[in-house]
Chains A and B, each alone.
Chain A
Amino acid sequence: MKLGTTFIADTFAEAFRMRWSRLVVTAHDEHWRDAAAAEATGYGSSIISCDSEAGIERRLTAAETPDGRPGASLLFFGFSADALGRALSNRTGQCLMTCATTAVYDGLPAAETRAPLGKHLRYFGDGFQKSKVIDGRRFWRVPVMDGEFLVADDVGIEKGIAGGNIILEASTLDTALAAARRAIDALADRAGVITPFPGGVVRSGSKVGSRYAALRASTNEAFCPTLRSRVTTELHPGANVAYEIVINGVDEASVAAAMALAMRAAVGDGVVAIAAGNYGGELGKFHFRLREVLA
């Protein structure tokens, strides 16, 4: 199958069940909003070594936020509700409470599973913190040096999907980078998904396990062009560069739609093929066949 001039491999992306949460962060202006969002979602690329996978879902206008200030919705993914709750609390305390003018709200108020947020962070107020219940929801007002840090008492957690992906294969580095940028631009501000890696793109695609016992993951040699003569390659014969775009989403439909959108945006001259990463289908519960999501 071809999409334009790009070959679409008959393969699938293998994705996993994870827990996710959404924080809505607001600040005095876009500068501090962006600073807070970048800090809170940093070091959140892969659950292999990070406490969570994190990204900016989309920027919010003042009209879309609870307090009428510029905001961003951030998505965080973790293996369990407990682990994710700890990550949210740590990241909020270290990256959002510390950022000038921010406030943090629950982006999943209807979720039954809850994780404490302000309930823990309030103790930073050292007894001077105050709670306020508005419209049935409790917030904490923690005194800080520019006034108050307002934070939701707890946040919702739902089941989502992590590990949807496509692998772009191109003839040159410039072509591959341009295709990756097109794909990421197409997904920017798309509700329900994030691309948690730097700039949304992974160059060090991984496989499960390693010849070194201490490592849980190692390079995916089948897509490394410099190893083409030494391993069983999965690269298209015309490909010299490959990039993976990993997509985490709130449900199957969001991930599938995002994969399709990214592929349609990425194809073009020099993008010789689009494949996907999987583990033979035995590890992940969700299989997204490239040709089916494009249908």
Chain B
Amino acid sequence: MSAHSLRWRGKPPPGRIDASALRPDLLAGLDEAAISRLPIPCGSSRVEIGDLFVVRRTPAAHGPQLRIDGCERYVDLARGMERGRLSVDGPCGDRVGRDLRGGEITVDGNAGHLAGASMSGGLLYVGGSAGDWLGGPAPGDTRGLRGGEIIVEGSCGERAGLAQRRGLIAVCGSAGRGAGHHLRAGTIVVLGGDLEAPGVGMRRGTIIATSAATRAAPPATFGEDGPIRPVFLRLLWRRLRELGGVVDDALDDAEFLAFSGDRTTGGRGEVLYRSR
């Protein structure tokens, strides 16, 4: 197996870069020259990867790996990736990890809107913050996250987990308004702060706010079920710790106030606010 690195040859170009081909599983087995000749849409034109990046190849012990410099103008970075490991040194633009099926993407910076859009497997780790519609449906799709795990060390924008079907979204900071809008199933965890108007139209699934400072209530179409200490949360905290999330040990024994809803759409979902 091989590890590749793509470093900017000069300044990043001013236009948006369609980075869907920058996938470790697609580049595995190609030498530096072959990768340099691959076309990549950039702005209104098409350039070769070698025009933008200096390509380096080194042996790798564990699966295909790719390390690239970050850029806020990437679009669809690693779209449809199935295996391997992609590391982004810096920010990335919209829809990083779109349709991700397997492997691991680590962004050492902020991610734009629709990070992890329509992904169905693998891990997307964002070291900074993420934009709106985290794990939401990709353009033209009706379903959001349907598998895999998204960890955001910072905060995220509005409507995280829009139309999510399965999988896990964990935000270590706060989440913008409307997380879990039309959630179908799966789990959204907000570890660090606000959770305003969550779960509107949700059918199933779980939305969890672990900050004791969070005092917001879910919409009026939710019913209060009282305090609970569900055992499954212990497994969830353990998993988040394995994934690198900062999870307070006190959460293992924390009590949550449970609300079920949205009753306008069946009421089988739940919103859990930490109460103690």
What B residues does A147 contact at CB under 8 A?
A: 228-231
Contact flag A148-B231 (CB < 8 Å), given A68-B252, A132-B187: yes
In the bound complex, CA of A147 to CA of B270 (Å) = 14
Contact in complex: B166, A69 (CB < 8 Å): no
Which B residues from 70 to 84 make CB contacts under 8 A with A? none
B60 CB within 8 Å of chain A: no
In the bound complex, CA of A268 to CA of B53 (Å) = 78
What B residues does A66 contact at CB under 8 A?
A: 234-235, 238
What A residues does B239 contact at CB under 8 A?
A: 134-135
Contact in complex: B230, A148 (CB < 8 Å): yes
In the bound complex, CA of A69 to CA of B230 (Å) = 13
A150 CB within 8 Å of chain B: yes
- Determine how close the nearest CB of chain B comes to the CB of A99; give it in whole angstroms: 13
Q: How many chain B residues have a CB neighbour from A under 8 Å?
A: 20
What A residues does B206 contact at CB under 8 A?
A: 130, 132
Q: How many chain A residues have a CB neighbour from B under 8 Å?
A: 16
Shortest Cβ distance from B237 into A: residue: A68
A295 CB within 8 Å of chain B: no
- Determine how close the nearest CB of chain B comes to the CB of A169; give it in whole angstroms: 48
- Determine how close the nearest CB of chain B comes to the CB of A129; give it in whole angstroms: 10
A139 CB within 8 Å of chain B: yes
In the bound complex, CA of A68 to CA of B166 (Å) = 25
In the bound complex, CA of A95 to CA of B276 (Å) = 32
What A residues does B270 contact at CB under 8 A?
A: 130
- Determine how close the nearest CB of chain A comes to the CB of B216; give it in whole angstroms: 23
Shortest Cβ distance from A27 into B: residue: B231
What A residues does B235 contact at CB under 8 A?
A: 66-67, 134-135, 139
In the bound complex, CA of A183 to CA of B211 (Å) = 52
- Determine how close the nearest CB of chain B comes to the CB of A257; give it in whole angstroms: 32
B204 CB within 8 Å of chain A: yes
Shortest Cβ distance from B167 into A: residue: A133
For the complex, would chain B's binding face be called helix, strand, loop or mixed by DSSP majority?
A: mixed
A17 CB within 8 Å of chain B: no
In the bound complex, CA of A132 to CA of B205 (Å) = 8
Shortest Cβ distance from B185 into A: residue: A131
What B residues does A130 contact at CB under 8 A?
A: 204, 206, 268, 270
Which A residues from 177 to 230 make CB contacts under 8 A with B? none
What B residues does A68 contact at CB under 8 A?
A: 234, 238, 252
Contact flag A133-B166 (CB < 8 Å), given A66-B235, A66-B238, A68-B252: yes
Contact in complex: A132, B232 (CB < 8 Å): yes
Contact in complex: B230, A139 (CB < 8 Å): no
In the bound complex, CA of A132 to CA of B168 (Å) = 10
A141 CB within 8 Å of chain B: yes
Residue among B167, B228, B234, B238 having the largest count of chain A Cβ atoms under 10 Å? B234
- Determine how close the nearest CB of chain A comes to the CB of B169; give it in whole angstroms: 13
Contact in complex: B252, A134 (CB < 8 Å): no
Contact flag A150-B231 (CB < 8 Å), given A68-B252, A132-B206: yes
In the bound complex, CA of A135 to CA of B270 (Å) = 20
What A residues does B238 contact at CB under 8 A?
A: 66-68
B236 CB within 8 Å of chain A: yes
In the bound complex, CA of A23 to CA of B228 (Å) = 25
In the bound complex, CA of A69 to CA of B168 (Å) = 24
Shortest Cβ distance from B206 into A: residue: A132
In the bound complex, CA of A66 to CA of B239 (Å) = 10
Which B residues from 220 to 257 make CB contacts under 8 A with A? 228-232, 234-236, 238-239, 242, 252
Which A residues from 126 to 161 make CB contacts under 8 A with B? 130, 132-135, 139, 141, 147-148, 150
Which A residues from 111 to 136 make CB contacts under 8 A with B? 130, 132-135
Contact in complex: B229, A141 (CB < 8 Å): no
- Determine how close the nearest CB of chain B comes to the CB of A240; give it in whole angstroms: 52
In the bound complex, CA of A66 to CA of B234 (Å) = 8
B236 is contacted by which of A26, A134, A148 (Cβ under 8 Å)?
A134
What B residues does A67 contact at CB under 8 A?
A: 231, 234-235, 238
In the bound complex, CA of A147 to CA of B206 (Å) = 16
In the bound complex, CA of A197 to CA of B268 (Å) = 45
Q: Which 8 A-B pairs have the closest CB atoms?
A: A67-B234, A150-B231, A103-B231, A134-B235, A135-B239, A132-B232, A150-B232, A134-B239
Supply 12 A–B pairs (Cβ within 8 Å), ascending by A: A67-B235, A67-B238, A68-B238, A130-B270, A132-B187, A135-B239, A139-B232, A141-B232, A147-B231, A148-B228, A148-B232, A150-B231
